[in-house]
Structure formats: C-alpha cells, structure tokens
Structure 1
C-alpha cells in the first residue's frame, strides 16, 4: 500500500435493517445509515484498493438496506452500502493483475461497500476504462449493461423469437430489451402504470401490456399463443409468477431476475410437472461461471458501448452525506434515470 494514503476514510455505514414502510422517508433512513470515519481497508491477495469517484444505485441497494438481499442477507452490522462504482486503483494487495491495474481508472462491482472514499474490489473483475469514458458513465456501466447482455443471451438461447419481461420500464429491463433487439429478438413489455407504455415503445418493444388491466392475463395468454412466446422474465414475485406461467404455452420457461415482493412466490405444481420450467438469474453467479477470457470479452462489449447502446441517463447526483435522501428519492423514482453518490 502506498505510504501517502490516509489512515482513515469517510464511509456510509448501515447499522441495521430498514423497515419496508420507511423506504421513502429520509429521516427514518438516517436512523440506520450514518456517514462515519473508519480505518482505511487493506487489500488482501487478489484485491485492490480503489479511490472511489462515484457510485450508482440499483434495486439491490434497496433490498440490501432492508436486510432482504439474498447475496448479503447474512452480512453482519454495521456494514457498508453500495455495490457499483468507478474510481482509480491506488493500492494492490498482491498479484500480477492488481499490479497491472495500479493507477488505472476502472469501473467495478463490490460488496465491500462502495459509497465511501475508498473501496476494495477483486482485481480480476475490474473494467479498465478507455480515455474517452468518464466516471459519470462508467459508474453505471457494470450492473445494468452486464445484466442486460446476460439476460438477452439467456433469451436468445431459449430459441424463442419473442420474450416478455415485467417491470419493463425499469433500467434493467430496458437494457435487456435494447440488447436483445440487436440479437434479432422481439419483446413483450409488461408495465405497471399507463404512463410507462410510451417508455417501452421508445425502446422498441413489439407489444406493451399493463398488468393492472383487468384482462391482463387473458391478453398475455392470447399474445403468447399468437407469437409463440415461450420465454419470459419476471422480477415482481408474489402472485405474478403464477399468472405468467399460466399464460405461457406448454414447455415454456419463466426466468426470475428479481423479487419486488420479498414474500413467498406462487407457482402451479401441475404446470411445473407438465413441461413448464422456472429459472433464476443472478448476475454474480453468472459472472463467476464465466471463464476469464469470457469475462474479458463481456467487459469489452460493455465498455465499447457505454457511450452508445449502454449510455446511462443520469437523473440526479447526491453527496456522501446525503445518502439517506438519495435512497429515499431513488425508491420513488427508479425508472427515471440513474441516481449517483459522489464520493470524493
């Protein structure tokens, strides 16, 4: 570690789980989130230390502070917050890859808590930034673009020319549709509000259905039969998987890519025992299953399109000390663009 690095750093820390009903109240969020001074972390073998420029919020950030995110469910409190960010590598914990990344500007994903002045990350999973990609775009270039590519690949592998996706006005769904359309696939966007229909049409969705309509299941069933849609994505959970599977032709596959409803999910056993299938998609497991060359090619595909196909819309930026306000704002404005935390 370089001798000129500070011994302490500012970091947003979570003291305990946030009740779901308090998600839109910054005053309640402040009770479980605090900006504090902690020891500068030391990178271990295979890790690097990054001076964080800014981080971005994603749906898993809301699950995390509620204490229901499956990937961090057992993480003890107090703990860090934030997963996706961009910054500059300033120290290496050991290893040739980390040494090669010293001084590089990178985008990264880490569970160490990136809403801080410094954060740890795995050297092998960094995305090195070209000179023409700025931190503002890079900080939102990991989670959504990689998820969009991966989910589009899953849809293509199903050999169904059409796929449907719920919460279609959200950033992940829109990215998935955008990538899938470049693969020659066609999408059925499922939204929750009437004003979201135009958003999905602008993304090129072939059909847009509103799940709030009383005849939604009937219309989806007829449409899936008409275009032979045998693959779909859902991130709602609860009763929605039951509705979706009932709407799909026999032999179809439903892929769960999230769970807005954190309670039990409903399925119909008769369907699952007669040819229908359910998959689960989680980006971390997807990436870990890739070979190193495949990870590199995936990162290149993302970074080469970050100023084009994957260019994020930045809705609003907050300072570290405004983290509670940022979470509250994001919980009510998830489809209008990225929320970023400035960490310098």
Structure 2
C-alpha cells in the first residue's frame, strides 16, 4: 500500500471518531496498538459494516458507556495474528488467519477505549478469535460474529418457548435470511418486507419453504397490511415477533399480537423510538416486549455452551449462516461505503479493506 511507505512500525491508517456522530468520522494515522497478556495483535484484512456499527458511529451507545476519543469503530473483522501478548491461547493463535470481534469492554456504563476493526491493525482478547478454515476468505470470515451469532441467539429465543411460528420484520435482510434458514424446516416464518422486489427475492431464495407453507411474506406497503398481518398471525397461532425496525411499525405490530405474545427487539433500522403502542393491548393481552443484545446473550453462556455455538457457526458459515457480499471498499473510502450501505442494506454485506481492494 503506497501511502504506508511514510509510516513507521508504531503507526497505522485507521478510520476513527473524534466525537459522537458520523460527521466526526475521519481517516488518518493513529498509533498502532500493543497487545497485553491474553491478547493478540491482528493485521486486519476485512471488516464489514453492520447496523450496530452505524449506531455506534451515530453515538447511540454513548448514552450507556463512556467512549474515549479518538475511537476506531468496527465490531468484527478478519485478519492474521502477527503478535501475541502472552498466554497459551494467544501464543497458539500466532500466525493464524482468524475471525475476531472487537476487544470486549463494558457497554453498560464502563469505559470504551480499545479501538475496533476499521484499522490496519487491531488488538483483541485471544478468546474472541476463531481460526478460519483455509477455504474461507477473509471477506467471508469477517462476518463471523455479529449476524451469525445473533441469528443463533434469536433462534434460541423461539425454540426455548417451543414456538411453531415466528414473525420477522425486515425479512429480506441478511440476518433475517439466516434466521429463516435456521427455522423454516420446522417453524412457519412470517416475514415482512417493504418492497415487492424483496417479496419476490424471498420467494426465489426459499422455494421449498414457500411450497410447504413454512414461509409467508407480507408487504408492509400493501393496502390493508395491518389487517392481513393480524389475520395471518391468528391463523398460524404466532406468538413470537423478532423485530428490528422500531419506530411506529414496532408499536403497530405489537398492539395487534395475540394474547401472551413476546416481541424481541434487536434493532432500530428506522432510527426512531418505538411508538404507537396501545397500552391496553399490552395490559389486557399480557404482551411482553424485551430487548436482545448479542453481547449480553454471549455473557449469559458458560464456556461449554460458547464452544458449541462457535462450532455451530463455523460449520454453517458457508451455507445457512453465510452472508452475501455486494461490494468492497478501501477503508479510506469509508464515508462512501457507509452512504452506499445505508441505501442498500438488504442487498448484502459491504466490506471495508484496510489494505486496499484487489482489482
């Protein structure tokens, strides 16, 4: 990379925030981090944009934690471990190609000061790295954690209640497609979309589920959508809603859910507060609205459970838990990448390449 010729071994190029909000996002030179004991230094090869990364750059997590600026965003990525800070696990990973997640810090009140994956180098805890198989590219492996593990966690939400049907909002998203693949063999999936092209896309992607009645796709822009939604939910005895839009849509759907239904809110694609909730529907029908954050779900698991989950994700990374990649950007063009991603969020992953995009 030509621009790196002017850097010494203590420096790197990175995207970083100087304060809350995307308007404070810069690309430039930062000090290269050093791994402590139990940590590794990774030469980052690829990192995806996720909605949670956008929320971070908008400062939404700043209400719950104390971010130290300049701060490099990016919750997950892939690369090669080039240095160990000490410890058996860190030593074992030295030289290995890995998927990794940002160094774990307290998002509920603590300091957030270790940079993320939108940089040429990053440090993280050795236990937050998973070696990649030789046939998995860096671009594919970069999306190992956020979407696949969230999909497994939300699948668990449905299965632990022995649900036979589930509603997914933003059904054409990469994450919703993963959940559909995990559930549609034995659970009826009712997906909502906002474009007819997205309905057609899901019909083509899941022909078997469509034919056996395990997939129903509703367009929120259709006249009479809410009534159709209510009738479909009733016909399928559906009491689980996995919701990622928030805003008025969440409130409207929640208010027509059957008695003792559970709504799990795991995103806010509308960037709006949940609204238009009928309080008497919640009271009379004993409805439950709860949040899901991947970090909290992972922290609730014991070591054996986490090993099982990681093996499951690793084994399904190139099929049921795979992500489509629609475009790659040089990290220095991160602002263009964000603009494209926000206009095409259901079209596939946008990958940032800290060392440039291969032609």
TM-score (norm 1): 0.89
Which structure 2 residues correspond to residues 287-302 of structure 1 after superposition, within 5 A?
A: 287-302=298-313
> 1:239 aligns to what SS in structure 2?
helix
Match of 1:45 in 2: 37
Match of 2:193 in 1: 191
Is 1:272 matched up with 2:264? no
Match of 2:47 in 1: 55
- Aligned equivalents of 2:331, 2:138: Cα separation in 1: 16
Report if the CA contact (8 A) 1:85-1:138 is conserved.
yes
1:88 corresponds to which of 58, 74, 80: 80
1:79 corresponds to which of 71, 74, 77: 71
Report if the CA contact (8 A) 1:152-1:179 is conserved.
yes
1:214 corresponds to which of 197, 218, 223: 223
Root-mean-square deviation over aligned CA pairs: 1.9
Match of 1:326 in 2: 337
Moved more, 61-70 or 208-217: 61-70
Is 1:338 matched up with 2:349? yes
Higher relative contact order (CA 8 A, sep 6+): 1
- Aligned equivalents of 2:238, 2:63: Cα separation in 1: 31
Gaps of 5+ in 1: 19-28
Shift in alpha-carbon separation, 1:97–1:281, aligned structure 2, 3 A: same
Is 1:178 matched up with 2:181? yes
> 1:321 aligns to what SS in structure 2?
helix
- Aligned equivalents of 1:66, 1:152: Cα separation in 2: 28
Deviation at 1:98, TM superposition (A): 1.4
Deviation at 1:158, TM superposition (A): 2.1
Q: How many residues align?
A: 328
Shift in alpha-carbon separation, 1:101–1:59, aligned structure 2, 3 A: same
Report if the CA contact (8 A) 2:246-2:267 is conserved.
yes
TM-score (norm 2): 0.86
Match of 2:109 in 1: none
Gaps of 5+ in 2: 1-7, 104-114
Is 1:244 matched up with 2:246? no
- Aligned equivalents of 2:273, 2:341: Cα separation in 1: 25
Deviation at 1:220, TM superposition (A): 1.0
- Aligned equivalents of 2:195, 2:318: Cα separation in 1: 29
Report if the CA contact (8 A) 1:49-1:119 is conserved.
yes
Is 1:258 matched up with 2:260? no
Report if the CA contact (8 A) 1:156-1:185 is conserved.
no
Shift in alpha-carbon separation, 1:74–1:195, aligned structure 2, 3 A: farther
> 2:60 aligns to what SS in structure 1?
coil
Report if the CA contact (8 A) 1:252-1:276 is conserved.
yes
Which structure 2 residues correspond to residues 300-319 of structure 1 after superposition, within 5 A?
A: 300-319=311-330
- Aligned equivalents of 1:85, 1:233: Cα separation in 2: 26
Moved more, 130-139 or 61-70: 61-70
- Aligned equivalents of 1:149, 1:71: Cα separation in 2: 27
Shift in alpha-carbon separation, 1:44–1:268, aligned structure 2, 3 A: farther
Report if the CA contact (8 A) 2:256-2:281 is conserved.
no
Deviation at 1:72, TM superposition (A): 7.1
